[in-house]
Structure 1
Protein backbone atom coordinates (compact mmCIF):
# COMPACT_ATOMS: atom_id res chain seq x y z
CA UNK A 1 0.00 0.00 0.00
CA UNK A 2 2.84 2.37 0.83
CA UNK A 3 4.34 1.79 -2.61
CA UNK A 4 1.10 2.57 -4.41
CA UNK A 5 0.82 6.12 -3.07
CA UNK A 6 4.06 7.44 -4.65
CA UNK A 7 3.22 5.71 -7.94
CA UNK A 8 -0.26 7.22 -7.91
CA UNK A 9 1.12 10.70 -7.13
CA UNK A 10 3.72 10.52 -9.87
CA UNK A 11 1.14 9.33 -12.42
CA UNK A 12 -1.25 12.04 -11.30
CA UNK A 13 1.42 14.74 -11.62
CA UNK A 14 2.52 13.52 -15.08
CA UNK A 15 -1.09 13.36 -16.24
CA UNK A 16 -1.76 16.86 -14.87
CA UNK A 17 1.27 18.24 -16.69
CA UNK A 18 -0.02 16.93 -20.02
CA UNK A 19 -3.62 17.95 -19.37
CA UNK A 20 -2.80 21.47 -18.19
CA UNK A 21 -0.10 22.14 -20.77
CA UNK A 22 -0.50 25.66 -22.09
CA UNK A 23 -0.79 26.40 -25.78
CA UNK A 24 1.96 28.61 -27.14
CA UNK A 25 1.06 31.73 -29.07
CA UNK A 26 3.05 33.29 -31.92
CA UNK A 27 4.90 36.47 -30.96
CA UNK A 28 5.89 39.36 -33.17
CA UNK A 29 7.12 42.93 -32.82
CA UNK A 30 4.28 45.46 -32.79
CA UNK A 31 4.92 49.10 -33.74
CA UNK A 32 3.85 51.74 -31.23
CA UNK A 33 1.55 53.41 -33.76
CA UNK A 34 -0.46 50.21 -34.05
CA UNK A 35 -0.94 50.04 -30.29
CA UNK A 36 -1.93 53.70 -30.00
CA UNK A 37 -4.24 53.71 -33.03
CA UNK A 38 -7.46 52.64 -31.24
CA UNK A 39 -7.01 55.29 -28.57
CA UNK A 40 -6.28 57.94 -31.21
CA UNK A 41 -9.34 57.05 -33.24
CA UNK A 42 -11.56 57.20 -30.18
CA UNK A 43 -10.15 60.61 -29.25
CA UNK A 44 -10.82 61.84 -32.79
CA UNK A 45 -14.34 60.40 -32.67
CA UNK A 46 -14.96 62.22 -29.36
CA UNK A 47 -13.67 65.43 -30.95
CA UNK A 48 -16.20 65.06 -33.79
CA UNK A 49 -18.99 64.32 -31.32
CA UNK A 50 -18.05 67.41 -29.29
CA UNK A 51 -18.22 69.53 -32.43
CA UNK A 52 -21.69 68.19 -33.20
CA UNK A 53 -22.86 69.10 -29.68
CA UNK A 54 -22.11 72.80 -30.20
CA UNK A 55 -25.08 75.08 -30.81
CA UNK A 56 -23.51 76.67 -33.91
CA UNK A 57 -22.94 73.26 -35.49
CA UNK A 58 -26.47 72.08 -34.67
CA UNK A 59 -27.96 75.24 -36.20
CA UNK A 60 -25.82 74.86 -39.33
CA UNK A 61 -26.84 71.21 -39.70
CA UNK A 62 -30.51 72.14 -39.37
CA UNK A 63 -30.04 74.88 -41.98
CA UNK A 64 -28.63 72.25 -44.33
CA UNK A 65 -31.62 69.97 -43.64
CA UNK A 66 -29.73 67.44 -41.50
CA UNK A 67 -30.98 66.35 -38.12
CA UNK A 68 -28.18 66.67 -35.52
CA UNK A 69 -29.13 63.33 -33.94
CA UNK A 70 -28.73 61.61 -37.32
CA UNK A 71 -25.30 63.20 -37.73
CA UNK A 72 -24.25 61.93 -34.29
CA UNK A 73 -25.41 58.41 -35.18
CA UNK A 74 -23.42 58.57 -38.41
CA UNK A 75 -20.28 59.64 -36.56
CA UNK A 76 -20.66 56.67 -34.21
CA UNK A 77 -21.03 54.35 -37.22
CA UNK A 78 -17.94 55.68 -39.05
CA UNK A 79 -14.94 53.40 -39.57
CA UNK A 80 -11.57 54.29 -38.07
CA UNK A 81 -10.29 55.42 -41.47
CA UNK A 82 -13.29 57.70 -42.04
CA UNK A 83 -12.92 59.25 -38.58
CA UNK A 84 -9.21 59.85 -39.23
CA UNK A 85 -9.89 61.51 -42.61
CA UNK A 86 -12.63 63.82 -41.29
CA UNK A 87 -10.58 64.74 -38.23
CA UNK A 88 -7.53 65.58 -40.36
CA UNK A 89 -9.72 67.70 -42.63
CA UNK A 90 -11.15 69.62 -39.67
CA UNK A 91 -7.70 70.13 -38.12
CA UNK A 92 -6.35 71.50 -41.41
CA UNK A 93 -9.01 74.24 -41.60
CA UNK A 94 -7.96 77.74 -40.51
CA UNK A 95 -9.11 78.56 -37.00
CA UNK A 96 -10.06 82.22 -37.41
CA UNK A 97 -10.85 82.35 -41.07
CA UNK A 98 -8.66 83.35 -43.97
CA UNK A 99 -8.22 87.06 -44.66
CA UNK A 100 -7.15 88.15 -48.09
CA UNK A 101 -5.01 91.20 -48.86
CA UNK A 102 -8.15 93.06 -49.93
CA UNK A 103 -9.80 92.31 -46.57
CA UNK A 104 -6.75 93.62 -44.72
CA UNK A 105 -6.73 96.85 -46.78
CA UNK A 106 -10.41 97.44 -46.03
CA UNK A 107 -9.81 96.92 -42.30
CA UNK A 108 -6.87 99.35 -42.34
CA UNK A 109 -8.93 101.96 -44.19
CA UNK A 110 -11.82 101.65 -41.74
CA UNK A 111 -9.42 102.00 -38.78
CA UNK A 112 -7.86 105.10 -40.37
CA UNK A 113 -11.29 106.64 -41.04
CA UNK A 114 -12.35 106.04 -37.45
CA UNK A 115 -9.07 107.53 -36.23
CA UNK A 116 -9.64 110.67 -38.37
CA UNK A 117 -13.21 111.10 -37.16
CA UNK A 118 -12.39 110.69 -33.49
Structure 2
Protein backbone atom coordinates (compact mmCIF):
# COMPACT_ATOMS: atom_id res chain seq x y z
CA UNK A 1 0.00 0.00 0.00
CA UNK A 2 2.74 2.49 0.94
CA UNK A 3 4.79 1.57 -2.15
CA UNK A 4 1.78 2.06 -4.46
CA UNK A 5 0.98 5.47 -2.95
CA UNK A 6 4.59 6.68 -3.25
CA UNK A 7 4.92 5.39 -6.82
CA UNK A 8 1.75 7.33 -7.76
CA UNK A 9 3.34 10.38 -6.16
CA UNK A 10 6.63 9.98 -8.03
CA UNK A 11 4.74 9.58 -11.33
CA UNK A 12 2.92 12.87 -10.73
CA UNK A 13 -0.53 11.36 -10.26
CA UNK A 14 -0.75 13.15 -6.89
CA UNK A 15 1.34 16.01 -5.44
CA UNK A 16 1.43 15.28 -1.71
CA UNK A 17 0.74 12.43 0.73
CA UNK A 18 0.32 12.88 4.46
CA UNK A 19 -0.03 10.53 7.40
CA UNK A 20 -0.78 11.37 11.00
CA UNK A 21 -3.30 11.21 13.79
CA UNK A 22 -5.23 14.09 12.24
CA UNK A 23 -4.61 17.16 10.10
CA UNK A 24 -3.89 19.22 13.22
CA UNK A 25 -1.86 16.54 14.95
CA UNK A 26 1.47 17.15 16.63
CA UNK A 27 2.81 14.08 14.83
CA UNK A 28 2.75 13.68 11.08
CA UNK A 29 4.63 12.69 7.95
CA UNK A 30 4.31 14.60 4.70
CA UNK A 31 5.73 13.31 1.42
CA UNK A 32 5.72 15.70 -1.53
CA UNK A 33 6.74 15.37 -5.16
CA UNK A 34 9.41 17.90 -6.14
CA UNK A 35 9.92 19.27 -9.61
CA UNK A 36 12.07 18.66 -11.53
CA UNK A 37 12.80 15.40 -9.65
CA UNK A 38 12.77 13.72 -6.27
CA UNK A 39 10.58 13.36 -3.22
CA UNK A 40 10.66 15.49 -0.05
CA UNK A 41 9.77 13.99 3.34
CA UNK A 42 9.17 15.94 6.53
CA UNK A 43 8.31 14.24 9.82
CA UNK A 44 7.38 15.19 13.35
CA UNK A 45 7.51 11.85 15.11
CA UNK A 46 5.79 10.67 18.28
CA UNK A 47 7.27 12.50 21.26
CA UNK A 48 9.24 15.02 19.17
CA UNK A 49 8.75 18.79 19.13
CA UNK A 50 10.85 19.55 16.04
CA UNK A 51 10.24 18.61 12.42
CA UNK A 52 12.92 16.70 10.52
CA UNK A 53 13.63 16.28 6.80
CA UNK A 54 14.86 12.98 5.38
CA UNK A 55 18.20 13.59 3.62
CA UNK A 56 20.33 11.64 1.17
CA UNK A 57 23.82 11.96 2.63
CA UNK A 58 25.40 11.24 -0.77
CA UNK A 59 24.13 14.59 -2.12
CA UNK A 60 25.25 18.16 -1.37
CA UNK A 61 23.43 20.25 1.24
CA UNK A 62 23.24 23.37 -0.99
CA UNK A 63 20.06 25.41 -0.66
CA UNK A 64 17.85 25.06 -3.73
CA UNK A 65 14.52 26.46 -4.85
CA UNK A 66 12.09 23.99 -6.39
CA UNK A 67 8.39 23.22 -6.66
CA UNK A 68 7.33 21.09 -3.67
CA UNK A 69 3.86 19.69 -4.21
CA UNK A 70 2.31 22.76 -5.80
CA UNK A 71 4.36 25.53 -4.12
CA UNK A 72 7.79 27.02 -4.72
CA UNK A 73 9.90 26.27 -1.66
CA UNK A 74 13.53 26.35 -0.53
CA UNK A 75 15.06 23.01 0.49
CA UNK A 76 18.49 21.49 0.65
CA UNK A 77 19.54 19.47 -2.39
CA UNK A 78 20.07 16.39 -0.21
CA UNK A 79 16.42 16.58 0.96
CA UNK A 80 15.31 15.32 -2.47
CA UNK A 81 15.23 11.55 -2.06
CA UNK A 82 14.31 8.64 -4.31
CA UNK A 83 11.34 6.26 -4.12
CA UNK A 84 13.31 3.54 -2.30
CA UNK A 85 14.36 5.91 0.50
CA UNK A 86 10.84 7.32 0.74
CA UNK A 87 9.23 3.87 1.00
CA UNK A 88 11.58 2.74 3.78
CA UNK A 89 10.97 5.90 5.81
CA UNK A 90 7.20 5.86 5.22
CA UNK A 91 6.78 2.18 6.11
CA UNK A 92 8.72 2.69 9.34
CA UNK A 93 6.68 5.76 10.25
CA UNK A 94 3.44 3.97 9.39
CA UNK A 95 4.42 1.05 11.68
CA UNK A 96 5.95 2.95 14.60
CA UNK A 97 5.15 6.67 14.40
CA UNK A 98 8.89 7.36 14.44
CA UNK A 99 11.78 8.30 12.18
CA UNK A 100 13.69 5.45 10.52
CA UNK A 101 16.85 5.16 12.68
CA UNK A 102 19.08 3.97 9.82
CA UNK A 103 18.25 7.03 7.67
CA UNK A 104 19.82 10.49 7.79
CA UNK A 105 17.65 13.35 9.12
CA UNK A 106 18.11 17.10 9.51
CA UNK A 107 16.00 19.52 11.53
CA UNK A 108 13.73 21.42 9.15
CA UNK A 109 14.45 24.77 10.76
CA UNK A 110 18.15 24.52 9.85
CA UNK A 111 17.47 25.51 6.23
CA UNK A 112 15.45 28.51 7.41
CA UNK A 113 18.37 29.63 9.59
CA UNK A 114 20.76 29.28 6.64
CA UNK A 115 18.45 31.38 4.45
CA UNK A 116 18.22 34.04 7.18
CA UNK A 117 22.03 34.07 7.34
CA UNK A 118 22.08 35.02 3.64
CA UNK A 119 23.33 31.76 2.19
CA UNK A 120 22.72 31.72 -1.59
CA UNK A 121 19.78 29.74 -2.94
CA UNK A 122 20.15 27.98 -6.30
CA UNK A 123 17.26 27.41 -8.73
CA UNK A 124 17.00 23.99 -10.30
State the TM-score, normalized to the length of structure 1. Answer: 0.26
RCO higher in 1 or 2 (8 Å CA, sep ≥ 6)?
2
Structure with max Cα Rg = 1
Q: Which has the higher helix share?
A: 1
